[in-house]
Amino acid sequence: MISDVKLERLVQQIEQLKRVIEKLEKAGAAKTEKLASLQTTNQHLNRDLKGQDGAVFCQRKG
């Protein structure tokens, strides 16, 4: 049988782990959001490059 003290410690550890998991989930969501924003910006820059002088740029490069 588990003593009350050990049980209380387990409860505290579980609560602490829950807080850590929540922080990690929030950090992961923020990184995902930032990545999506960077991908959108990259798509816009690529589109703008192709729309303005992308053909000239590609000819110079190739």
Prediction pTM value:
0.59
pLDDT score, position 49: 87
The residue ranking higher by pLDDT, 58 or 41, is: 41
Please give the Cα distance from 55 to 49 (Å, whole number): 9
Distance CA 62, CA 44 (A): 23
Domain count within the chain: 1
Residue 59: predicted pLDDT:
55
**Domain ranges, residue 30:** 4-61
Start-end of H helices in 53-61 = 54-61
3-state secondary structure of 3: coil
